[in-house]
Amino acid sequence: KKILIVGGVAGGATAAARLRRLSEEDQIILFERDEYISFANCGLPYYIGDVITDRQKLLVQTVGGMSKRFNLDIRNFSEVTVIDPDQKTVTVKNHQTGASYTESYDKLILSPGAKPIAPPIPGLAEAKNILTLRNIPDTDKIKAVVDSGQVSRAVVIGGGFIGVEMAENLQELGINVTLVEKMNQVLKPLDFEMAQLVHQEINANGVNLILEDGVDHFQNEGHEVVLESGQVLKADLVILAIGVVPENTLAKQANLKVGPRGHIVTTANYEVFIGENDAVNPDVFAIGDAVEVVDFVTKTPTAIPLAWPANRQGRLVADYINGKKIGNVGIQGTAVAKVFNQTIAATGNNAALLDLKKIPYQVVVAHRSNHAGYYPNATNIALKLLYDPQTLKILGAQAVGQEGTEKRIDVIATAMKLGATVLDLQDFELSYAPPFSSAKDPVNILGYIAE
Residues that bind ligand FAD (CB under 6 A): 6-12, 31-34, 41-42, 44-45, 79-80, 111-113, 133-134, 162, 247, 250, 288-290, 305-308, 310
d(CA 11, CA 119): 26
d(CA 399, CA 334): 11
Question: What is the enclosing helix (H) or strand (E) of 43?
Answer: none
Closer to ligand FAD by CB, 306 or 430: give it. 306
Question: What is the enclosing helix (H) or strand (E) of 448?
Answer: helix 442-450
To 5 degrees, how large is the angle CA 381–CA 201–CA 222?
145
CB of 43 to ligand FAD, least distance (A): 8
Neighbours of 430 (CB within 10 A): 17
Catalytic residue among 42, 51, 294, 336: 42
CB of 350 to ligand FAD, least distance (A): 17
d(CA 311, CA 298): 22
Closer to ligand FAD by CB, 130 or 446: give it. 130
For residue 134, which phi and psi values (nearest 5 degrees)?
-135, -40
Four-CA torsion 112, 25, 94, 103, nearest 10 degrees: -90
Q: Which residue is nearest to ligand FAD (CB)?
A: 288
Closer to ligand FAD by CB, 247 or 441: give it. 247
Closer to ligand FAD by CB, 6 or 416: give it. 6
CB of 442 to ligand FAD, least distance (A): 23
Contact 170, 147 (CB under 8 A): no
* Among 349, 328, 338, 343, CA closest to 412: 349
Neighbours of 448 (CB within 10 A): 14
Neighbours of 306 (CB within 10 A): 17
Tell me the angle at which helices 307-321 and 10-22 cross, rounded to the nearest 10 degrees. 30
CB of 450 to ligand FAD, least distance (A): 29
Partners of 28 in the beta sheet? 3
d(CA 322, CA 295): 26
Question: What is the enclosing helix (H) or strand (E) of 109?
Answer: strand 107-110
Longest dimension (CA), the chain: 70
15 alpha carbon, distance to own chain's centre: 18
To 5 degrees, how large is the angle CA 384–CA 389–CA 390?
150
CB of 251 to ligand FAD, least distance (A): 9
For residue 269, which phi and psi values (nearest 5 degrees)?
-95, 15
Closer to ligand FAD by CB, 8 or 447: give it. 8
Closer to ligand FAD by CB, 85 or 123: give it. 85
CB of 234 to ligand FAD, least distance (A): 25
Are β-strands 224-227 and 232-234 bridged in parallel, bridged antiparallel, or unpaired? antiparallel
Closer to ligand FAD by CB, 306 or 359: give it. 306
Closer to ligand FAD by CB, 245 or 307: give it. 307
Q: What is the DSSP letter of 451?
A: -
CB of 279 to ligand FAD, least distance (A): 23
Active site residue 42: yes
Active site residues: 42
